[in-house]
Amino acid sequence: MSFRAAAAKQVRRRAVNPASPATSIPSRQFASPRQHSIFTRPRLTPLTNRRAFHYSRTFTSHVQQSGSNLFTAAVVCSIGIGGALLLSFVRGKQSGEDITPRDALLLELLDSDDEMAPTVPPGRPGTLTPEQEVKLRELWALTLKVFGVYESSQSMTDSAETTTTTATTTSEATESDSKKDKEKKRSRLNVFKRKDKNEKGTTDTDSTTASGTATPTDISTLSIADEDDKHGQTKDFKTALANSSPADLRRAFWAMVKHDHPDALLLRFLRARKWDVEKALVMMISTMHWRLEEMHVDDDIMRVGELGALEQTKSSDPKIKKLGVDFLAQMRMGKSFLHGTDKEGRPMCVVRVRLHKQGEQCEESLERFTVYTIETARMFLRPPVDTATVVFDMTDFSMANMDYAPVKFMIKCFEANYPESLGTVLVYKAPWVFNAIWSIIRGWLDPVVAGKVHFVKTPADLEQFVDRQQIPVELGGDEKWEYKYVEPAEGENEKMKDEAKKEELTSRRAGIVERYESEVLAWIQAGEAGEGLEETRRKRDAIAGDLRSNYWDLDPYIRARSWYERVGTLKEGGQVDFYPKEEKPTPVQQETTHEDLD
Please say whether the beta carbons of 350 and 336 come within 8 A.
yes
Nearest C-alpha neighbor of 426 from the set 393, 377, 381: 393
Burial 529-552 (b: 16+ CB within 10 A, else e): eeeeeeebbebbeebbebbbebbe
Average pLDDT estimate for 177-193? 43
How confident is the model over 285-292, as a mean pLDDT?
Answer: 97
CA atoms within 13 A on the CB side of 228: 12
Q: Residue 440 above 80 pLDDT?
A: yes
Closest alpha carbon to 566 in 499, 498, 501, 483:
483
Distance of CA 98 to the CA centre of its chain: 38
Structure confidence at residue 221 as a pLDDT band (50, 70, 90): confident
**By mean pLDDT, which of 55-59, 141-145, 401-405, 541-545 is the weakest?**
55-59
**Domain range 331-475, its CATH number among 3.40.525.10, 2.170.190.11, 2.40.10.480, 2.102.10.10:** 3.40.525.10
Give SS3 for 194: strand
CA R_g for the chain: 30
Using alpha carbons, select from 427, 438, 455 the residue that is nearest to residue 404: 438
One-letter amino acid at 108 equals E
- Under the banding of pLDDT at 50, 70 and 90, the label for residue 95 is very low
Alpha helices in 463-593 (DSSP H): 499-529, 533-558, 563-566
Q: Determine the pLDDT at residue 439.
A: 95
- pLDDT band, residue 17 (cuts 50/70/90): very low
List the single range of 56-60, 133-137, 175-179 with lowest mean pLDDT.
Answer: 56-60
For the chain, how many helices (H) and strands (E)?
Answer: 23, 9
3-class DSSP assignment, residue 572: helix
| Strands across the sheet containing 422-428 | 336-341, 347-352, 388-393, 422-428, 453-456
The predicted-structure confidence for 234-254, as pLDDT tens digits, reads as follows 999 999 999 999 999 999 999
Q: What is the mean pLDDT of the chain?
A: 78
Please give, one letter per residue, the 3-state secondary structure of 159-189.
HHHHCCCCCCHHHHHHHHHHHHHHHHHCCCC
- pLDDT, residue 482, reads 95
Rounded Cα–Cα distance for residues 173 and 191 (Å): 24
DSSP conformation letters of 379-442? GG-BTTB--EEEEEE-TT--GGG--HHHHHHHHHIIIIISTT-EEEEEEES--TTHHHHHHHHH
State whether residue 501 is helix, strand or coil: helix
- Pick from 25-29, 73-77, 265-269: least confident: 25-29
- Average pLDDT over every residue of 519-544: 88
Q: Which of 87-96, 210-219, 342-351, 578-587 has the highest mean pLDDT?
A: 342-351
Weakest-pLDDT range from 159-173, 235-249, 299-313: 159-173
Helix 404-412 vs helix 363-377: angle between axes, to the nearest 10 degrees? 40
- Could you read off the pLDDT of 36-55 as tens digits, one per residue? 333 333 333 433 444 444 43
pLDDT at 57 over 70: no
- State CA 394 to chain mean position distance: 30
Is residue 341 within 8 Å of 470, Cβ to Cβ? yes
Measured on CA atoms in the order 43, 46, 52, 55, is the torsion positive or negative? Answer: negative
Which amino acid would we find at residue 585? P
Residue 495 has pLDDT above 80, yes or no: yes
Share of the chain above pLDDT 70, in %: 66
CB-based contact 328:308 (threshold 8 Å): no
**Tens of pLDDT along 362-416?**
999 999 999 999 999 999 999 999 999 999 999 999 999 999 999 999 999 999 9
Specify the pLDDT at position 538: 93
So what's the pLDDT on residue 463? 97
Q: Decide: helix, strand or coil at residue 225.
A: coil
Percent of the chain with pLDDT over 90: 61
More confident residue, 458 or 525: 458
pLDDT at 231: 93
For 108, other C-beta atoms within 10 Å of its C-beta total: 10
DSSP H stretches of helix in 3-129: 3-16, 33-40, 47-65, 70-91, 101-112
| pLDDT tens figures, 312-367 | 999 999 999 999 999 999 999 999 999 999 999 999 999 999 999 999 999 999 99
Q: How far is CA 249 from the centre of its chain?
A: 21
Predicted pLDDT at 511: 98
Within 10 angstroms of residue 245's Cβ, the number of other Cβ atoms is: 10
More confident residue, 413 or 582: 413
- Residue span(s) of the chain under CATH 3.40.525.10 come to 331-475
Q: What is the pLDDT of residue 241?
A: 95
Q: What is the pLDDT of residue 359?
A: 93
pLDDT at residue number 589: 56
The predicted model scores a pTM of: 0.73
Which position has the higher pLDDT, 55 or 533?
Answer: 533
* Per-residue confidence (pLDDT) for residue 484, from 0 to 100: 97
Least confident among 73-77, 242-246, 540-544: 73-77
Distance CA 374, CA 306 (A): 15
